[in-house]
Amino acid sequence: MSNNEANNPQDNPVHDNVGHSETILEETLNEFNPEANGGDNDVVHSDIDVSTYQARIAELEGEVKAAKEGQARANADAYNAQKRMEQETEKSRKFALQKFAKELLEVVDNLERAIVSVQADDDADDAILEGVKLTHKSFLNVLNKQGVEVVDPQNAKFDPELHEAVGIDPEAPADTVGEVLQKGYTLNGRLLRPAMVKVGQ
């Protein structure tokens, strides 16, 4: 080694730590030590804008909330659709026999006319009258099992929802059903045929 190299240690990188109280490792550790670099003199600086991430987080949270609300609405719509379908199915089941039952009422009317006719005939056979009555009763029982109910409003207050006024009964009180010309019927609570009545004035 020449004298110039020995006299100029700065030109020799191997001896750069000569004269330092700390090793390079210790200096490096202290440089990144938050306790040794407190206050405003932070060693590591960053150009990252935290507000950008906060805005993105808020945006994602909003999307999650919107997705949950959308799912809740979809579930509610599906539930309501199912309920409507069940109601329509039940309604269809209840009133599927409406037209058929209405036609059968003519048979009931004819049986009732036969009973009145036989009762008015003094020479009529009692067995025939009893047979017609039993047939009429059995027929009504079958209709009742299917939800058909009789509307017989004798002496009841006139109800335009259930009764059809076809004349005036001078002996009946005002707005009261007097003579019932034809009984009415309902099917599962829905009017199947109004009762034809005379009403007092």
Same domain (yes/no): 87, 123: no
Same domain (yes/no): 70, 108: no
Other CB atoms within a 10 A radius of the CB of residue 163 amount to: 21
Tell me, yes or no, whether 82 lies in a domain: yes
Q: How many domains does the chain have?
A: 2
Confidence of residue 68 (pLDDT cuts 50, 70, 90): very high
Same domain (yes/no): 87, 100: no
Confidence of residue 105 (pLDDT cuts 50, 70, 90): very high
Domain termination residue (choose one: 95, 122, 145): 95
pTM of the complete model: 0.54
Same domain (yes/no): 69, 121: no
Residues 6+ apart with CB under 8 A from 18: 9
Same domain (yes/no): 108, 169: yes
Q: Is the pLDDT assigned to residue 5 strictly greater than 90?
A: no
Confidence of residue 19 (pLDDT cuts 50, 70, 90): low
Dist CA 129 CA 5 (whole Å) = 147
Average pLDDT score over residue span 24-41: 61
Other CB atoms within a 10 A radius of the CB of residue 58 amount to: 10
Q: Judge contact between 155 and 114, C-beta under 8 A.
A: no
Average pLDDT score over residue span 21-41: 61
Same domain (yes/no): 112, 179: yes
Same domain (yes/no): 155, 142: yes
Tell me, yes or no, whether 146 lies in a domain: yes
Closest CA to 136 of 164, 153, 117: 117
Dist CA 70 CA 168 (whole Å) = 62
Closest CA to 80 of 66, 92, 72: 72
Same domain (yes/no): 108, 153: yes
Tokens of 97: 């026999």
- State which residues form the domain around 73: 57-95
Same domain (yes/no): 193, 112: yes
Q: What's the mean per-residue pLDDT of the chain?
A: 82
Tell me, yes or no, whether 117 lies in a domain: yes
What CATH number is associated with residue 126?
2.30.22.10
